[in-house]
Amino acid sequence: MENNKKRFGALDFVILVVLILCAAVFALRLGYKEQISGEELTAKYAISFCVDDVRYTTADAFVKGDRVYVATDDTYIGVFERLDSNNPAAYFDENSNTKVYYPEGTRVDLTGTIISEGVMNDDGYFAGGSYFLAPGKKITIYTGHVFVDIVLTDIYEYAQ
């Protein structure tokens, strides 16, 4: 009779280590997902944004109560609340080395606020518990009335 004794080899050890690591990563990810999606952590936040150098009619396209979506993946991030400022846009004229304003009624800079429900934790703000937003981030948004690039300037807890 032949001796068919099975031994524990190096490949068996590597496979075992990989399985243990996969289980650990899965457990950590599951715990993190529960941490940011917990109902008790969800609150309302105000997202301040700016839009630079757009047509003056764009200000009229921001309608209070419009649902706001990220254009790249149709993610809902909140409801448009208000325009905070509507100022004439400016550009830097290299010939005169000065800041020059566009004529009134042509181009404007806007700032506004979106009300969002989500989670704020040590890693940042997550609209709807999963879509990461942070001040300085540039995103393209759309509503039923406007499609525009915005830069987020601040995210803070909304006090009604």
Tokens of 130: 């999963």
The pTM score is 0.72
Residue 22's SS3 state is helix
- pLDDT tens-place string over residues 93-149: 899 899 999 998 899 999 999 999 999 888 889 998 889 999 999 999 999 999 999
pLDDT at 31 over 80: no
DSSP state of 3: -
The pLDDT of residue 37 is above 90: no
What does pLDDT average to over the chain?
88
For 7-29, how does the pLDDT look when each residue is reduced to its tens digit (9 = 90+)?
778 888 888 899 999 988 887 77
Please report, for the chain, the start and end positions of each structural domain, with discontinuous segments joined by +.
10-38, 42-157
DSSP state of 21: H
